[in-house]
Structure 1
């Protein structure tokens, strides 16, 4: 199940410093970021083996997550918030602000065969 963690951040009169090295609960194998998004949705998948950590380091966006039991909306609106997405978490990112930058760290390197695009089928 997806869950939020707090990124340790140190603030003084010079600004903010956020530290990720001890906060992310897995070894990072891949880092990418998404920005300049129009009204499109991004994501729309889950993974066989990859766990991800998502931080909106600028602006804001919404990550909608479905783990087959619960659908949750996570408002990613501060760089101190990090959403951990487990393998069962089918997720889509929406509502990007014009200045949004979404940083994503993954537990595995890219592998096209790791993606599951079909959303969960829920009973009506």
Structure 2
């Protein structure tokens, strides 16, 4: 099942600095971000790709179904990171106007890695 972690953040009079060093349990091979969203994104799981999702600004909701448990996560702070296993069927929705969702992926894009069918 997905896991929500807190990214270490250092704040002083100049602002905040969040650092990801050892918190993500895979080597990042692909980085992309989603913004200007109208409607729902995702609607799939993967054969091998693991992901880490961070909403850099604004907020969004991530629905996750691992075949046993279902849960919705709200990402509304850049110090939150949602780790998704390959088996986690997920959708991303309810993006605020200013939301930008950063995704760190364990694999390069491969259309054959996607499984679009929901769990029964």
Q: Which TM bucket (shorter chain)? A: over 0.9
Write the deviation string for residues 76-121 of structure 1: whole angstroms up to 9, x where unpaired. 0101110000011000000000000000000000000000000011
Alignment of 1:1-124 (within 5 A): 1-38=1-38, 40-121=39-120
Distance across 2 between alignment mates of 1:105 and 1:16: 21
Return the TM-score normalized by structure 1: 0.95
Distance across 1 between alignment mates of 2:44 and 2:93: 13
SS in 1 for 2:112: helix
Return the TM-score normalized by structure 2: 0.98
Q: After TM superposition, what 4+ stretches of structure 1 lie above 3 angstroms from structure 2?
A: none
Distance across 2 between alignment mates of 1:77 and 1:48: 28
Count of aligned residue pairs for this structure pair:
120
For the aligned residue pairs, the C-alpha RMSD in angstroms reads: 0.6
Q: Which moved more, 1:47-56 or 1:15-24?
A: 15-24
